[in-house]
Chains A and B, each alone.
Chain A
Amino acid sequence: MSTTNTGDARELAVDFHGDEPLISGDMSFHDITELVSGHTEKRTPLGWLAAFAVANIGLLILVTSIAYLFWNGTGVWGLNNPVGWGFAIVNFVFWVGIGHAGTLISAILFLFRQQWRTAINRSAEAMTIFAVICALVFPGIHVGRVWAAYWMLPIPNQMEMWPQFKSPLLWDVFAVSVYFTVSLVFWYVGMIPDLATLRDRATKGLRQKVLGFFSMGWTGANRHWRNYEKAYLLLAALATPLVLSVHSVVSFDFAVSVVPGWHTTIFPPYFVAGAIFSGFAMVVTLLVIARRIYKIENIITIGHLEKMNIIILLTGTMVGFAYITEFFMAWYSGVEYEQYAFLNRATGPYAWAYWTMMSCNLLFPQFFWIKKLRRSIPFMFVASIIVNIGMWFERFVITVTSLHRDYLPSSWDYYSPTIIDVLTLIGSFGLFFTLFLLFLRFLPMVAMAEIKAVKPEADPHFYDHSGDGQASGTPSLTSSHSE
């Protein structure tokens, strides 16, 4: 092949996409298919089994603590009279927040033609779905009388009773369940071409049948691609407003009430920013490990991670700005209850939680201004975990500090979680990692079809000057690849 001409064209394509290639390591289309599919086809690695065992212990802890809760009632939690909302809502908001990055990456970045999303969108969407499942556990169990949990839904019943349509808690049920459904459909539709690839590579009857069922007869025909692209675009457009609406509605759970510290109009944007912040941090945590273990560093490059770190820096600063704005508004409003609520946050009995939140969320991400730290794997790994600790504490601070100082000083109390609260939180991570490990083992963790489309060879003008008509990375003219 004439290397000079190919090089020109590749440089052109690379310039168009940014300053570094989206896929490094000069992988051919075939290499990508082999790499990604191979992980679902080989024998189960021992490391995966070990990780799965640990995750399953977590899941068992969750199931046990929930069973204990159902048997005994919500008295096993640390809730007391002014603090009627504790870990259950904190964990719910935390997990829903984490579930925001996936759809932001897959829908909004798709509409904005941010091509770097293709490396991470599949795993980020999977993370979203699993995080929302973890989130949905908590409203389900917090009702105490779990057999009445269906009251959350407007189902006709013999009581002729409906949920309170004026309550944001009901809007929340709709917002989160719609978000879950759309995310799931979006994730699945995006996976169909890749499932078909796995199906075509499968050799065993059962594997062929299962994958054949889920790939819905995909043949890669032009007609299929046209329908697929249209469906994907429509779903992206449908999912985009949801990214913003879901956490806005979650924030209404607080903002619509008249509790000082909750009743603020800044809540919806501030919650959305926080959700994206924590979601991206979780993506970084997971992918830093996954890309190394599964040797997909060439697909999820350091450049992709850096871009996510920039988003973490941006949203972290927005969240920090919101924290400070709340103080300004409390002072500016002249309402003494509002002022007390915020002063009490920073200096009261929960000051330790407040300053944990402040340092984790506002101060720590500021290190990402330094390019070297943005591109340092160990640093970003630690930072991403710290961010999620901070975001968990944000929800804790909002929920508990506002409630523990009631309007009636005689009912003031200090909330501390019980061991069951803590075990349920730990167990929810077990559920999350169980699902995520199953995903890594059985599904294509990278969108193979999409990643090929952002390679320079996918540019129709890539071959304009080359003359031999061969894709880069092709060893010789005689061996050809069918991807």
Chain B
Amino acid sequence: MAQIFPKKANALPTLSLLGAVGGGVLSILFVWYYFSPEYTDVGYAPEQPVPYSHVLHAGELAIDCQYCHSNVEVSEHANIPPTQTCMNCHSVVQTESERLEPVRQSWATGEPVEWVNVHQLPDYARFSHAVHVKNGVGCETCHGRVDQMEIVKLAEPLSMGWCLECHRQPELYLRPNEQITTMGYTQTADFVKENLQRIKNESIQPPTNCSACHY
């Protein structure tokens, strides 16, 4: 009887085995990299209604984060400042600037400026700024070097695994409370030891159970 398959078909089992293994590994790597928030989310920098520069305000002028984001120590939310805060200075500084036109308009009409939210957490994840700020998590740890951002962009993935990395080993990330808003802070030589001591003294116990954030 004539053979159904040509001789070269003998290579098929080997090839398909290699293809299955290789394809499996490749698809794992593909999902691993391209499906991660680190790839999909980090670097998100939407255009804002006002070309506000953190480089100028937080960097060169060295205005403290909390001057504008004033509720960060007491509230779950680090508030976006109202137009009033801008006008504290801009009623006398740069009053004719074209770039500030939307702010002046908002001031005149009472309609808030519609800033675009950059750091979006899912609705089912609760996060309190106050708790973190009071326990030694610096602004910079999650938001990056905002003082170097012309347009605010997402610096960290804000994924659950990323949260858990710090919740499991906070001693690697905490800093003294007086350095919370410092940009470009360098940890001291034996900061891990100091942090461990602080964690013990203040019984800082970052929870890792589901209902810590999902409730």
B212 part of interface (Cβ distance < 8 Å)? no
> Which of chain B's residues have a CB closer than 8 A to the CB of A212?
4-5
Q: Give every chain B residue within 8 A of A157 (Cβ-Cβ).
A: 161
Q: How far is the CB of B211 from chain A (nearest CB, A)?
A: 14
Q: Does B157 contact A (CB under 8 A)?
A: yes
Are B5 and A209 in contact, CB atoms less than 8 angstroms apart? yes
A208 at the interface (CB under 8 A from B): yes
> Is A159 interfacial (CB-CB < 8 Å)?
yes
A208 to chain B, nearest CB (A): 5
Residue in chain B with minimal CB distance to A211: B4
Among B4, B5, B38, B157, the most chain A Cβ lie within 10 Å of the Cβ of B4
Contact of B108 with A by CB under 8 A: no
- A87 and B117 CA atoms in complex are apart in Å by 43
Interface check B22, CB cutoff 8 A:
no
Q: How far is the CA of A160 from the CA of B169 in the complex (A)?
A: 14
Contact: A159 with B161, CB < 8 Å?
yes
B2's nearest neighbour on chain A, judged by CB, is A208
Measured in the bound complex, the distance between the Cα atoms of B4 and A200 in whole Å is 10
Tell whether B19 is near chain A: CB-to-CB under 8 Å: no
Residue of B1, B4, B5, B160 near A158 (CB, 8 A) is B160
Chain B interface size, as a band, is: 10 to 19
A158 touches B157 (CB 8 A): yes
Interface residues of B in 148-195 (CB under 8 A from A): 157, 159-162, 164-165
B51 within 8 A of A: no
Q: Is the CB of A199 within 8 A of B161?
A: no
Interface: A161 (CB within 8 A): yes
Q: Closest CB-CB distance, B215 to chain A, in whole Å?
A: 16
The reply to whether A160 and B5 form a contact with Cβ atoms under 8 Å apart is no
At the interface, yes or no: B37 with Cβ under 8 Å from chain A? yes
- Min CB distance B206 to A, Å, is 14
Residues of A contacting B37 with CB < 8 Å?
Answer: 158
> Which residues on the A side are within 8 Å of B38 (C-beta)?
158
Tell me the complex Cα distance, A436–B75, Å. 61
Nearest B-chain residue to A210, judged by Cβ: B4
CA A161 – CA B163 in complex, angstroms?
Answer: 12
Q: Which residue of A lies closest to B38 (CB)?
A: A158
* Cα–Cα distance between A112 and B161 once the two chains are bound (Å): 52
Docked complex: A295-347 residues within 8 A CB-CB of B: none
Please encode chain A, from 192 to 217, with 1 for each CB lying within 8 Å of some chain B CB and 0 for all others: 00000001100000001100100000
Could you list 27 A-B pairs, sorted by A, with CB under 8 Å?
A157-B161, A158-B35, A158-B36, A158-B37, A158-B38, A158-B157, A158-B159, A158-B160, A158-B161, A158-B162, A159-B159, A159-B160, A159-B161, A159-B164, A160-B160, A160-B161, A160-B164, A160-B165, A161-B160, A161-B161, A199-B4, A200-B1, A208-B4, A209-B4, A209-B5, A212-B4, A212-B5
Further contacts, 12 of them, CB under 8 A, given A158-B160, A158-B161, A208-B4 = A157-B161, A158-B36, A158-B157, A158-B162, A159-B159, A159-B161, A160-B164, A160-B165, A161-B161, A199-B4, A200-B1, A209-B5
